[in-house]
Amino acid sequence: MLEWRRRREPSLPMLVLSPLIAIGLTMLTGMIVFTAIGYDGFHAVESIFLTPFLEPQRWADIGVKGAPLVMIALGLAIGFRANVWNIGAEGQYVMGAIAGTGVALLTYDMTGWWILPAMVLAGILGGMAWAAIPALLRVKLQVSEILTSLMLTYVAVQFLYFLVRGPWKDPGGFNFPQTRMFTADQTLPTVIEGSLVHLGIPVALLLAVVAWLLMEKTTAGYAVKVVGLAPAAARHGGFSAARTTWATMLLSGGLAGLAGLFEAAGPFGQLTPQFPVGYGFTAIIVAFLGRLHPLGIVFGGIVLAGTYVGGEIAQSTVRLPQAATGLFQAMLLFMLLAIDVLVRWQIGWKRRAA
């Protein structure tokens, strides 16, 4: 008879293959489900998962959408490794953008090379500050960071609405709820002349390499992994859980804030109520699809960015509603979690009792 057996250690080939199997299963399920509810399922899946990668003119857009996803997911994944569940990256992303925009509005009539770096610094600090609240509550009072970080996302979004409708409203903006447009010195430069490809994309890739070095080559990275896998052993070995919580929350908050600032100073060029698009939540899927590994996250970010780009394509080619993108993203995570069982377990013939 066949039976499930727990593997002594996780299967490395399955660990690498599982995201690919999950993507395959999501495509198959998506085709069936969307055909069943009356859409052109085949072309919907083709538009979302294949077209963005097969048409080179879409690649810049994948990069633009992938950069914030990768940046946020890198920070989240390090936290998840340490069992720190920061799920409020969306709020930290918004607060980073708000802090950076604050600097932009203060320096509106100035020029100088230092303005953008100052905005970047403010963005990182804004995200960190927002993540510091759940970190403090968890370390000092054992309050679940899951709930507090998420609640703070709603607060951050309302704060954004308040600013763009009230004190930060563009005086020359015909009463639209939006801030002034950023000046040339406040805008993220593009790396390829005349394209959408901004500085955030190479920065995201660089950060992935840095995160990989941090996790694999430093004691700090090792401490994070030990705290997550064996809290008791970590205490014994002198690795502080409190310090790890602080470090991972501030790191993930700072990266989310940086991503938010890049988005504001890059593709948006101002703040509007449409600014929060859910990258902070999608980044959670990116982190899991990348197996919480920095280099895997680059792959995950490209796939999920592809679904955003592909979702827009599918809206025009097969009239698929925008919401379908989110559904495909969630299905992807479901499939991945289901496939994960193969990493930890194997199917084999039942052995006779010895």
Does the protein bind another protein through residue 85 (CB under 8 A)?
yes
The DSSP result for 56-90, as a single string, is GGGHHHHHHHHHHHHHHHHHHHHHHHTT-----HH
Q: Is residue 196 part of the contact set for another protein (CB under 8 A)?
A: no
Minimum CB distance to another protein smaller for 105 or for 137: 137
Q: How far is the CB of 5 from another protein (least distance, A)?
A: 9
Residue 340 CA neighbour count, 13 Å, CB half? 12
Q: What gap in Å lies between CA 336 and CA 334, rounded to an integer?
A: 5
Shortest Å, Cβ 4 to another protein? 8
121-150 mask for another protein (x: CB under 8 A)?
------------x---x---xxxx-xxx-x
Applying CB under 8 A, among 14, 78, 87, 223 the residue interacting with another protein is 87
Residue 6 found at the interface with another protein (CB under 8 A) = yes
Residue type, position 255, single letter: L
**Using the rule CB under 8 A, which residue among 288, 302, 303, 310 binds another protein?**
288
CA-nearest of 287, 289, 219 to 75 is 287
Out of 53, 118, 327, 346, the residue judged to bind another protein by CB under 8 A: 327
Element (H, E) at 4: strand 2-6
**Binding status of residue 229 toward another protein by CB under 8 A:** no
Out of 176, 341, 347, 348, the only residue in the binding site for another protein (CB under 8 A) is 341
b/e map 300-322, b = 16+ CB within 10 Å: bbbbbbbbbbbbbbbeebbebee
Interface positions with another protein (CB under 8 A):
6, 85, 87, 133, 137, 141-144, 146-148, 150-152, 154-155, 158-159, 161-162, 165-166, 281, 284-285, 288, 321-331, 333-334, 337-338, 340-341, 344
